[in-house]
Homo-oligomer: A and B are copies of this chain.
Amino acid sequence: MSYFTKRYHPPGTSPGTLSEHTPEIMAALQISLLDYTPQSFSEHLIENPVDCAQWLEQDSITWIHVQGQVDPDTLRELGTLFGLHPLALEDVINTGQRPKADSYDDQLFVTMNLPTFNENGELRIEQVSLFLANQVLISFHHGASHPFLPVVDRLRKHSGRIRERGADYLLYALLDIIIDQGFPMLETMGEMIEDLEEELLDNPGKSTLARIHQVRRDLLLLRRNLWPQREVMNNLSREGHALIHSSTYPYLRDCYDHTIQILDLIESYREMAASMLDVYLTSLSHKLNEVMKVLTVIATIFIPLTFIVGVYGMNFAGNSPWAMPELEWHYGYPALWLIMLSIAGGMFYAFKRRGWF
Contact = CB atoms under 8 A, between A and B. Distances in A.
Contact of A302 (B17, B295, B303): B303
A264 interface: yes
A16 B12 CA distance: 33
A161 B4 CA distance: 30
A345 interface: no
A15 B177 CA distance: 11
Contacts of A330: 318, 320, 322
A121 interface: no
Given A296-B291, A314-B315, A183 B6 contact: yes
Interface stretch (A23-31, A32-40, A275-283): A275-283
Interface stretch (A49-57, A62-70, A209-217): A209-217
Interface string A140-172: 000000001111011000011110000000000
A349 to B, nearest CB: 14
Count of this chain's copies in the oligomeric assembly: 5
Contacts of A81: none
A206 B313 contact: no
How many chain A residues sit at the interface, stated as a range, is: 35 or more
A295 B294 contact: no
A288 B165 CA distance: 65
Contacts of A314: 309, 312-313, 315, 327, 333, 336
A217 B296 contact: no
A261 B327 contact: no
Contacts of A309: 307, 310-311, 313-314
Given A6-B187, A288-B288, 6 more contacts: A4-B187, A14-B159, A213-B275, A309-B313, A310-B313, A315-B317
Interface of A: 2-4, 6, 8, 10-17, 85, 87, 97-98, 100, 102, 104, 148-151, 153-154, 159-162, 173, 176-177, 180-181, 183-184, 186-187, 190-191, 193-194, 197, 201, 203, 206, 209-210, 213, 216-217, 220-221, 223-224, 227-228, 250-251, 253-254, 257, 260-261, 264-265, 267-269, 271-272, 274-275, 277-289, 291-296, 298-300, 302-307, 309-318, 320, 322-324, 327-334, 336, 355-356
13 contacts: A10-B184, A11-B180, A14-B160, A98-B260, A201-B213, A274-B275, A292-B295, A312-B316, A315-B324, A318-B327, A318-B328, A322-B331, A323-B333
